[in-house]
Structure 1
Amino acid sequence: MYDVEKVGLLKMDFLGLRNLNLLDTIIKQVQKSQADFEIEAISMEDAQTLALFRAADTNGVFQFESDGIKQVLRKLQPERFEDIVAVNALFRPGPMKQIDHYVARRHGKESYQAIHPILEEILAPTYGIIVYQEQVMQVCQRMAGFSLGQADLLRRAMGKKQADVMAREREHFIRGAREQGIEPEIASATYDYIYEFASYGFNRSHAVVYSTLAFQLAYLKVHYPLAFYQALLNMGSSNQTTMADYILEAKRHTGPLLGLNLNESQIGFSVSGQQLQVGLSAIRTLRHDFVSHIVEDRQLLGPYTGLLHFMQRLPKKWLKQEWLESLISVGAFDYTGMNRPTLLKNLDKLMQSVTFSGGNLSLFPELEPRIEWAEDWSPSQKRDKEVEILGFSLEGHPVATYQAFAKSHPNLLSVRDILAAQPNLKVQTLVLVKGIRVINTKKQELMAFLELEDEVASISGVVFPQSYRHYVSLLKEGQVLLVEGTVELDRQGRHQLIIKRLALVNEEEAKATTSPNQHPFQRCFVQVKAFQDLKPFLPGLRKFADQYSGPVAIILVDGNRQTFQLDDAYRVSYGQKAQAELAKLLAPFKIIYK
C-alpha cells in the first residue's frame, strides 16, 4: 500500500464527488433568477438549515443520507455548524462507540473528568472526547513537548494504523511529558487514550470540508427547493436513497409534480412555473438519443397533436413498439384525452397504418385505422405500471390520503424505517395490502402471508392463525390498514413484520378491533330452527362482519342442538353499538354471547 512512497515518489489521491456537480448545478439554476447569489456568502449558522439537520431531513445532503447518521442527528439536535462537523467525524466505524457518550455530554446527562488540565482544555470543545487527529497533535505538543513536525509524524502513523510506530513513540511521549513535569502514570494513561483513538482517527480538516459541502447543500434545500430537487432528481438515486424517496420528498417540499407530457416534458426534470415536471429521460426503457430527438423535433416543428401524429414524424429507426408502449403507459399522451389502455389496444393497427402509408396518411386516408375504445385503468393499475417503467409513481398512493391521521399518530413508522429497524422492535405502521397468500398449517389452521407497502417501500407481513381468525375480514387486497407487530428477520435475513393487530383507519370502532382481548366473549350463538333459516340473512351478515370485524365467531345452533360455525369471514367484534346492530339484523333469532 505504501510502496510508492517508499521509493520516493509522490502519491496523490484524487477524490471525485458527484455532490460537487450537484452543488454546481443548483447554484447555476439559482443564479438564473438571482444573479448575485454566492454560496460562499451564506451564513454557516443559518437557523433554518440547522433545523433541517435537527429534523434529519437530509436526503440529498452529502454524507448525511444514511439511516444511521440521521439517528445521530435526531439524538444530538445540532445547534451550530461545529456540531455538524463533530457528527461527520464521529459517524465512522471506530468512533461510533463514542457517539452515545458525546450526545449525553452534549446534553448535560453525563459528566466527565479529564486526567490533566491540558487535556481538559484541548478536549473541551468535544466534551472530553478525542474526535480529531489535530487534537492528538495538540496533546503531543502541549503535554510531551513534541514539535508540530513530530506530532504530525505520530498523526500520520495513526492515520495509517502503523501500530509499530505508535508503540515506539510511547517512550518518546512519556519521556517528553516527564520533562514537562507530568507524572509518568498520567502520561501513560493519556498515551493509552491516544493509542485507542489511533484505530479510528479522522482529520478535522477533512470533516470541516465535508461538512461545509453538506451544509451548503442543506442550505440550498431549505431556501431553494425547486432548484435543489430539479438537480437532485436529474442526478438520480444514491446508495441510500431511491428515486421514489426523492419524488415523495420533492412533492412534500415543492408541491405536486407535473407528469410526463410529450409536448411539455424536457429531457430531464424541469421547472414549469412553480412546479417540477418529470422529464422524458425518467423513462428507463428509452435511449437518451431517442429522448433528445423528441425534444429537438418538437422545438423545430412544433407540438404533436397525438400518438398518430407523433408516429408519422418519427424516423423509421425510432419507430419501435416497445418505446411507444412505455410512453403511453406512463401517461405521455394523456393530454390527447385518450386513455392509456385505448392507445395500447390500437397501437398495432397504428403501426401498420404508418408503415404502409410511408408516414403520410393524408395521401392514404383509407389506411387510418378505426379506434377501438378500452376501459381506463384504475389508479392502482396506473401506479403499478409507472413504478415498473419509471421506478416511481406520480399517481397518488392510497396511504397518502391518510396523511392527517399519520401526523396525529407520531409513533407510526414508515416501511423504510421498519426495514432499517433492529429485530424484535414493536412497531405500528400504516400500509396498503398489496397481496395476500393464505395457507393451511400442519394443524389445519389458516394463516396468511401479506405483501404490504406504503408510498416508498414494501415489506412482507406474517399473520399467524390466532391473529388471522381475529382479523380475516380485514384482509383484502387494496385495503389500507393500521398494522401493529414485531420486526423479525426471515431465513434469508430480510426484514418482515409479525402482525399482532390490525385496524381500519378512522373506523368508528377501530380501537376495539386493535385488541382481541378487550372483552371475554369469543363466541356468538345464534339459535335457529334449521340452519337454512339463516340463508336469507347471510348477505347482510357479511356486510355487518366487514364493518364490525373482530374475534367473535358466529355459531348456529339448530332445534336438535346441532352446531355449525360460520366461516372466519363472518367473525365480528363485540361492543355496545355492534351488539345492537347485530340484534336488529338477526331480529327473528335469539343471540347469546359466551
Structure 2
Amino acid sequence: MVLSENNLTETTPVQDGNEGMLMSQYSKNYVERVGLLKMDFLGLRNLSLMANILDQVHQLKPDFDIENINLNDTKTLELFQRGDTSGIFQFESAGIRNILRKVKPDRFGLVVAVNALYRPGPMENIDRFVKRKEHREHYSFPNDVLSEILGETFGILVYQEQVMEVASAMGGLSLGQADLLRRAMSKKKHDVIEQMRTNFIDGALQKGYNAKLAQQVYSYIENFANYGFNKSHAVAYSKLAFQLAYLKTYFPGPFYTALLNSVIGGEAKTKEYIQELNRLGIKVKAPDINLSQLQYAFYQQQIIMGFLSIKGLRRDFIRNLIEERQSNGEFKSVDSLLRRMRDKGITEEIIEKLIFSGTLDSFGYNRAELGDFLPELLKGIAFSGQNVDLFEKLMPTIKHRPDMDLDEKLDWEEELLGTYISAHPVERYANLIEQNGFKKIDEFSVEAQVTTIVYIRSIRTIRTKKGESMAFANITDPTGESEAVIFPRIYQHAKILRNKRVLQLRGKVEKRNDGLQLIVNEITAPQNKQVQAAIWKLEVPSRNNSSEFQTKLFDIFRKYHGKVPVILVYEDTNEHNELSEKFYLNDSSEVKEQLAELLGSQHISLIKK
C-alpha cells in the first residue's frame, strides 16, 4: 500500500488495479525515490487458523486470552525442543525441525533466533551457534558495547537490527545512517559500503576506539550483515508460532480440528495430522450420518470427520442432508435415510460412499452387510414409489455376515477419505514388532541398520543406466512415512513387493535432502507368532479370488465361528494373513469337512501345540 500526505495523483501516475483499487505505475524503487511511503500487508492463512482454534477454545474456556500466555512456558518450549512442530507456522519443515532439536530452545528468544537462522546464508552459522550455546566453542567480545548487543546470539550477527545497533553505538552513526548501511549491505551497494566504512571508523575514533578494532568490527559487519534477518519480523512470526504451539500443547482437540479443516483435500497433511492424533490418543472418528457437520468437529473429546472429507460427495447433497436432519431429527436406519432423502439428491453412488466411508456404521450393521443389502433395498424403493406402507412391506431383511477384511476396509477408507480411520494396516503386527524390537519409522536414525514392518502405499519403478529395474516405495506405519529404495539386486527377487501390502523390510537408514530413506537389502512377509493351543492354517489361491469362492468361505466363518485363530496363506505370494477374532473357527470335524470340500484337504491343517 502506498501512502501520501497529498492526493496520490499529484505524485504518481495511477491505473486501475485489482478489486477496484488504484495501482501506482511506478515500481517500488521509484515510489520511494519520489518520497512516498510503501507498506506491505501480509495475509496469513495461519491467522485464520488461529481464529478458528480460539473460537473452539472459548467454548471450553470463555475467559482464555491468547495474548496473556507466558512466552517462556516450559511445556511449549519442550514441544519446540522435540521438533514436534507440525502445523506450527514457520516451523513445520523437516529441516527447521532438525535445527530445533539441535538448538533445543529453552526461552522464547532462542525460538526467534532459530526462525531467523533457518534461511539461506544465516544457516551456515547454525552449527557455530549451537556450539557456543552449549559452551563447546569459546568466544569473547572486544568491549562491553558488542557484548550487550551480540550477547543474546552468542557473538553472532543474526538480526539486521544488531547491525544498526553496532553501527550506532560504536561507529557513531545516526539510526538513519545505520539503516542506510544495512540496506547497502543487504543489496551489496559497494560504493555506499565504502563511504560508510570511512564514516564508521571516524565515528569509532571519536568515541575512543582504536583504528584496528574499528576496522575489524566493520569487516565483521560487512561479512555477515547481508545475511541478517529483520528481528521485528522474526519476533512477530515467532510469537504467532509460539501461540499456535501453546494451543497445540494445552488444547490439542480444538487445535487439530481447525488444522484438519485447513487442509481438507490435502491427503498427505491429513494423514500426517491423523497419525499424530493417534499417537496422542485423541480419537478421530469416521463421518457419522447423525453427528457430522460440513467440516471436522470436536465433540465429546474426539474429532469427527465432516461430510466434506468424503471425496465426491456433492455440496448440495450435504446441505440438503444437514437441513433435513435439523428439521426432522436424526436418521434411525438406512431405509429412513433413503426414504427421507429420496427427492433430495441421494443416488446409489452416494449411498455407496456413505456405506464404505463408515458414515452409516452407527446404524448397527457392518459395512459388508450394508453393501450386500443395498441392491435389494434400492429395488424395494424403486418398486414402492411414494407408497410408504408398501415400502415397509417390501423392506428386505439385512443378512448378517462377517465384515470385510481389514485391508479391503482400509482401501475403501483411503479411497474415499484420503486416510485410514479404522486402523493402520501395520497395527495387526504390533505384538511382533514389540517382541522383536523392530523399529518404527519415527525411530529411524541415520546410519542405523533396522528391521521394520511397513505398509507399501505406492511403488515407482525406474531403469538404471545399465537397463536394470529398481524401485522407490512410499512406506508408512502408525508413526509416520518414509521412502524405501530397492536396488536391482534386491528388486529382481522381490516378488512379494506390491502396492497395498504389509511387508517386513531390513536395511540401512540414510539421509536424503531434509529426510531419511531406507536402503533395503531384504524383503519378507511378516508372520505373527501364535501362542494359542491350536491354529487353522488355510491355503487359498490369492487375495483376489472369485466372489463365489469368497462367499462360500465367509459362510463357513459365519456358520462355524469359534475360538481357534485362522491364518490364510496366499499361494501366489506365500504371504500369511492372520484374521481377526470375528473369523475364528471351532475345531469340529464339520469345519474340517467344509474346508476340505472348498479348498482341498491338502490345503488345510489344524496345527495343535
Q: Name the TM-score, length of structure 1 as normaliser.
A: 0.73
Is 2:522 the counterpart of 1:498? Answer: no
User: What is the CA–CA distance in structure 1 between the aligned matches of 2:192 and 2:324, rounded to whole Å?
Assistant: 67
Contact 2:90 2:241 in 1 (8 A): yes
Is 2:417 the counterpart of 1:390? Answer: yes
Superposition map of 1:155-304 within 5 A: 155-158=182-185, 162-236=189-263, 242-304=269-331
Q: Using the TM superposition, give the Cα deviation of residue 102 of structure 1 relative to its aligned residue in structure 2, in angstroms.
A: 0.5
Contact 1:386 1:393 in 2 (8 A): yes
Amino acid at match of 1:431: I
User: What is the CA–CA distance in structure 1 between the aligned matches of 2:465 and 2:185, rounded to whole Å?
Assistant: 60
Partner of 1:574: none
Amino acid at match of 1:430: T
Partner of 2:362: 335
Q: Using the TM superposition, give the Cα deviation of residue 289 of structure 1 relative to its aligned residue in structure 2, in angstroms.
A: 3.8
SS in 2 for 1:144: coil
Q: Using the TM superposition, give the Cα deviation of residue 60 of structure 1 relative to its aligned residue in structure 2, in angstroms.
A: 1.4
Contact 2:112 2:235 in 1 (8 A): yes
User: What is the CA–CA distance in structure 2 between the aligned matches of 1:449 and 1:151, rounded to whole Å?
Assistant: 53
User: What is the CA–CA distance in structure 1 between the aligned matches of 2:120 and 2:464, rounded to whole Å?
Assistant: 44
Q: CA separation of 1:431/1:248 partners in 2, compared to 1, >3 Å: closer, same or farther?
A: same
**Partner of residue 430 from structure 1, selected from 438, 452, 457:** 452
Q: Using the TM superposition, give the Cα deviation of residue 453 of structure 1 relative to its aligned residue in structure 2, in angstroms.
A: 3.0
Amino acid at match of 2:520: I
Partner of 1:26: 53
Contact 1:354 1:361 in 2 (8 A): no
Q: Using the TM superposition, give the Cα deviation of residue 479 of structure 1 relative to its aligned residue in structure 2, in angstroms.
A: 4.1
Q: Using the TM superposition, give the Cα deviation of residue 394 of structure 1 relative to its aligned residue in structure 2, in angstroms.
A: 0.9
User: What is the CA–CA distance in structure 2 between the aligned matches of 1:438 and 1:144, rounded to whole Å?
Assistant: 62
Contact 1:467 1:500 in 2 (8 A): no
Contact 2:406 2:425 in 1 (8 A): no
Q: CA separation of 1:5/1:322 partners in 2, compared to 1, >3 Å: closer, same or farther?
A: farther
Partner of 2:179: 152
Q: Using the TM superposition, give the Cα deviation of residue 15 of structure 1 relative to its aligned residue in structure 2, in angstroms.
A: 0.8
SS in 2 for 1:233: helix
Amino acid at match of 1:273: Q
Q: CA separation of 1:272/1:237 partners in 2, compared to 1, >3 Å: closer, same or farther?
A: closer
User: What is the CA–CA distance in structure 1 between the aligned matches of 2:46 and 2:461, rounded to whole Å?
Assistant: 47
Q: Using the TM superposition, give the Cα deviation of residue 397 of structure 1 relative to its aligned residue in structure 2, in angstroms.
A: 1.2
Q: CA separation of 1:468/1:196 partners in 2, compared to 1, >3 Å: closer, same or farther?
A: same
Q: CA separation of 1:17/1:303 partners in 2, compared to 1, >3 Å: closer, same or farther?
A: same
Deviations 1:546-586 (A, max 9, x none): 99xxxxxxxxxxxxxxxxxxxxxxxxxxxxxxxxxxxxxxx
Partner of 1:380: 407
User: What is the CA–CA distance in structure 2 between the aligned matches of 1:477 and 1:241, rounded to whole Å?
Assistant: 16
Structure 2 residue runs without a partner (length 5+): 1-27, 530-568, 577-609
Superposition map of 1:315-464 within 5 A: 316=343, 318-345=345-372, 347=374, 350-351=377-378, 353-354=380-381, 357-363=384-390, 368=395, 376-400=403-427, 412=439, 414=441, 425=447, 428=450, 430-434=452-456, 452-455=475-478, 456-457=480-481, 459-462=483-486
Is 2:542 the counterpart of 1:483? Answer: no
Structure 1 residue runs without a partner (length 5+): 509-539, 548-594
Q: Using the TM superposition, give the Cα deviation of residue 504 of structure 1 relative to its aligned residue in structure 2, in angstroms.
A: 7.7
Amino acid at match of 2:222: Y
Contact 2:453 2:526 in 1 (8 A): no
User: What is the CA–CA distance in structure 2 between the aligned matches of 1:211 and 1:242, rounded to whole Å?
Assistant: 22
User: What is the CA–CA distance in structure 1 between the aligned matches of 2:173 and 2:436, rounded to whole Å?
Assistant: 57
User: What is the CA–CA distance in structure 2 between the aligned matches of 1:396 and 1:226, rounded to whole Å?
Assistant: 20
Partner of 1:41: 68
Q: Using the TM superposition, give the Cα deviation of residue 340 of structure 1 relative to its aligned residue in structure 2, in angstroms.
A: 2.6
SS in 2 for 1:69: helix
Contact 2:438 2:452 in 1 (8 A): no
User: What is the CA–CA distance in structure 1 between the aligned matches of 2:187 and 2:254, rounded to whole Å?
Assistant: 41
SS in 1 for 2:253: helix
Partner of 1:60: 87
Superposition map of 1:512-527 within 5 A: none
Of the structure 1 ranges 202-211 and 123-132, higher mean CA displacement relative to structure 2 is found in 202-211
Is 2:139 the counterpart of 1:112? Answer: yes
**Partner of residue 166 from structure 2, selected from 104, 123, 139:** 139
User: What is the CA–CA distance in structure 1 between the aligned matches of 2:423 and 2:264, rounded to whole Å?
Assistant: 21
Amino acid at match of 1:133: Q
Amino acid at match of 2:244: L
Aligned residue pairs, count: 505
Q: CA separation of 1:400/1:137 partners in 2, compared to 1, >3 Å: closer, same or farther?
A: farther
Between the aligned residues of both structures, percent identity stands at 41
Partner of 2:17: none
User: What is the CA–CA distance in structure 1 between the aligned matches of 2:82 and 2:437, rounded to whole Å?
Assistant: 14
Q: CA separation of 1:10/1:427 partners in 2, compared to 1, >3 Å: closer, same or farther?
A: farther
Q: CA separation of 1:323/1:27 partners in 2, compared to 1, >3 Å: closer, same or farther?
A: same
Q: Name the TM-score, length of structure 2 as normaliser.
A: 0.72
Q: CA RMSD in A?
A: 4.2
Contact 1:487 1:497 in 2 (8 A): yes
Contact 1:267 1:279 in 2 (8 A): yes
Q: CA separation of 1:112/1:294 partners in 2, compared to 1, >3 Å: closer, same or farther?
A: same
